[in-house]
Amino acid sequence: MHQINHRLLDHADSEDALLNEFTNTSNNFSSSNRASKPLRSGGKVRLLKIVSLVTLTLQNAVLGISMRYARTRSGDMFLSSTAVMMAEFVKLLTSLVLVYNEEGSFEKWVNALHSTVIKQPMDTLKVGVPSFVYIVQNNLLYISASHLDAATYQVTYQLKILTTAMFAVTMLKKVLNIHQWSALILLALGVAMVQLTGTTDKVSTSGEQNRLIGFAAAIGACFLSGFAGIYFEMILKGSDVSVWMRNVQLSFLSLPFGIITCFVTDWDAIQKNGFFFGYDAFIIYLVVLQAGGGLMVAMVVKYADNILKGFATSLAIIIACVFSIYFFEFI
């Protein structure tokens, strides 16, 4: 197996969205006991916000490193389409467990799934749009990881912050201030500089790596990420269905798309070598890690906001770069 240089990357999962508002204040303060409850609740929300952001930051950094290593190491190469599908399957099982934990009993769990997923088919079908988009996005990320060096991939994929802002303005009629737009413009300039300086990178001469394909795949994933995140936010804010139940709907509808993608793009390879060709303990770990990223995004949607999520992603880049300098000798 041809040896490709090991570098790291950052990935952010699939699926970008903004925050639901959590601060409801009361006009009547009849007793100090009643007033203490919002304080305790607010403290819990702040703790969950910090925990979710820190966890997402670490998950992004570790996933980026792991994806790059998995796609460039020696040995039998697994099929990325099967890994994406298996990640959705793991996310579905995990979301079902979390919904069960919310409901508290098997009977309530079954009734909740039936009333939300089966008895409201149109509501479930609405989730089919981001489901399909996330599947395509994740496959594009694997393509990009195979063709771009770590630095270019890491910064280019951060354009999803810019595309998310664009879709927030056009779809949600959000208004961004001058400081926010300035930060987005600086981000875009940084991406352009990395791309220009990377054109002389020796990696671009590799027969197995095409910078144009990798860059196009990353840009496509950025636009899909922005659209899917804002669309998912619209769905979340338009009903009282829990985030975990929405994740059940997402994964339930993503699986058929994932199966179709597997057999359309890799049918010959699957038929020849098998669905799990190239899988080992590291690939199983990668699948679980990617599934966890989708769930962590849901946590950040619930307890943090998009600006803080952007900071978390940026911090993940720094962590990944430091890791690459000391462990992969990448500068």
Answer yes or no: are the C-beta atoms of 254 and 131 closer than 8 Å.
yes
d(CA 275, CA 219): 29
81-90, 210-219, 229-238, 246-255, range with the lowest pLDDT:
229-238
Counting beta carbons within 10 angstroms of the beta carbon of residue 141, is it exposed (0 to 12), middle (13 to 18) or buried (19 or more)?
A: buried
Q: What is the pLDDT of residue 286?
A: 93
The token pair that represents 164 in the structure block: 């998310």
Q: Is 154's pLDDT higher than 90?
A: no
- How far apart, in whole angstroms, are the C-alpha atoms of residue 13 and residue 181? 23
> For the segment 97-143, what is each residue's pLDDT rounded down to a tens digit?
999 999 999 999 999 999 988 888 888 888 888 878 887 888 888 88
pLDDT digits (tens, 9 = 90+) for 49-96: 788 888 888 888 888 788 878 877 888 889 988 998 999 999 999 999
pLDDT of 305:
57
Tokens for 157? 């994929």
pLDDT computed for residue 287 by the predictor: 94
Q: Residue 8 in contact with residue 150, Cβ under 8 Å?
A: yes
Check residue 209 and give its pLDDT. 65
Report the distance separating Cα 285 and Cα 43, nearest Å. Answer: 33
Question: Which of these ranges, 176-180, 200-204, 294-298, has the smallest mean pLDDT?
Answer: 200-204
**Threshold 0.85, pTM exceeds:** no
Q: What is the mean pLDDT of residues 221-250?
A: 84
Which of 137, 109, 121, 107 has its CA nearest to residue 252? Answer: 121
pLDDT value at 296 more than 60: yes
Chain-wide mean pLDDT for the chain?
76
pLDDT in tens, 10-37: 333 433 433 333 333 333 433 344 444 4
Task: Pick the closest to residue 325 from 5, 7, 2 (CA basis).
Answer: 7
Please count the other Cβ atoms lying within 10 Å of the Cβ belonging to residue 140.
22
Q: Which residue matches tokens 């699957």?
A: 270
Looking at 166-308, which runs of residues are DSSP E strands? none
How many Cβ atoms sit within 10 Å of the Cβ of residue 268?
9
How far is it, in rounded angstroms, from Cα 122 to Cα 235? 12
